[in-house]
Chains A and B, each alone.
Chain A
Amino acid sequence: MYEILTKIQLAHKETLFEVHAPEVAAKARPGQFLIVIPRAGGERVPLTICDYDVERGTVSFAFHEVGKTTKELGTFEKGDCLYNVTGPLGNPSEIRNYGRVLCVGGSIMIAPLLLQSKAMKAAGNHVTTILGCRSKDFLFMADKAKACSDEVHVASDDGTVGEKGLDFLNELLKKERYDRCVVMGPVVMMKYVSEMTRPFGIPTVVTLTPIMIDGMGMCGVCRVTVGGKMLFGCVDGPEFDGHNTNFDELIKRQRTMLPEERLSSILWETSGGCDCERQ
Chain B
Amino acid sequence: MNGSEPDTKKAASTKRQQAVEMPKQEPEDRVKNFREVALGYTEEMAREEASRCLQCKKPQCRKGCPVDVPIPDFIKCITEGNYADGISVIKTKNALPAVCGRVCPQEEQCQKMCILGKKGNPISIGRLERYLADWEREHGVQVPDRAPPTGKKVAVIGAGPAGLTVSADLVKLGHEVTLFEALHVAGGVLIYGIPEFRLPKDIVQKEVEYVQRLGVDLRLGNLIGRIHTIPELLESGYDAVFIGSGAGLPQWTGCPGENLGGIYSANEFLIRVNLMKAYDFPQKDTPIRVGKHVVVIGGGNVAMDCARISMRLGATVCLNYRRSRKELPAREEEIENAEEEGLICRFLNAPLEFYGDDKGWVKAMRCTEMELCEPDASGRQSCRIVPDTDFTMDADTVIVAIGQTPNPIIQRTTTGLQTDPRKGTIIIDDEGRTNLKGVFAGGDVATGAATVISAMGAGRRAAQAIHDFLTNQEPKEGSP
Contact = CB atoms under 8 A, between A and B. Distances in A.
Contacts of A259: 289
Interface majority SS (helix, strand, loop, mixed), chain B: loop
- Greatest chain A CB density within 10 A among B222, B289, B360 is at B360
B330 interface: no
Contact of B287 (A219, A230, A253, A261): A261
A8 interface: no
Contacts of A27: 226-228
A14 interface: no
Nearest to B280: A41
Nearest to A67: B285
Contacts of B407: 216-218, 235
Interface in A82-104: 83-89
A179 interface: no
Nearest to A267: B282
Interface residues of B, number: 40
Contacts of B359: 252, 255
A43 interface: yes
B360 A252 contact: yes
A252 B182 CA distance: 29
A70 to B, nearest CB: 11
A85 B227 CA distance: 12
Interface stretch (B50-58, B72-80, B266-274): B266-274
Interface stretch (A121-129, A134-142, A168-176, A220-228): A220-228
Contact of A41 (B228, B265, B284, B409): B284
A180 interface: no
18 contacts: A27-B226, A43-B286, A44-B184, A84-B184, A89-B223, A214-B183, A214-B271, A217-B407, A217-B409, A220-B265, A230-B259, A235-B407, A235-B408, A252-B360, A255-B360, A257-B287, A264-B281, A264-B285
Interface of B: 182-184, 192, 220-223, 226-228, 248-250, 252, 258-259, 261-262, 264-265, 267-268, 271-272, 276-277, 281-282, 284-287, 289, 359-361, 407-409
Q: Top 3 A-B pairs ranked by shortest CB distance?
A: A260-B287, A252-B360, A256-B261
Interface of A: 23-24, 27, 32, 35, 37, 41-44, 68-69, 83-89, 213-214, 216-221, 223, 225, 230, 235, 249, 252-253, 255-257, 259-261, 263-264, 267
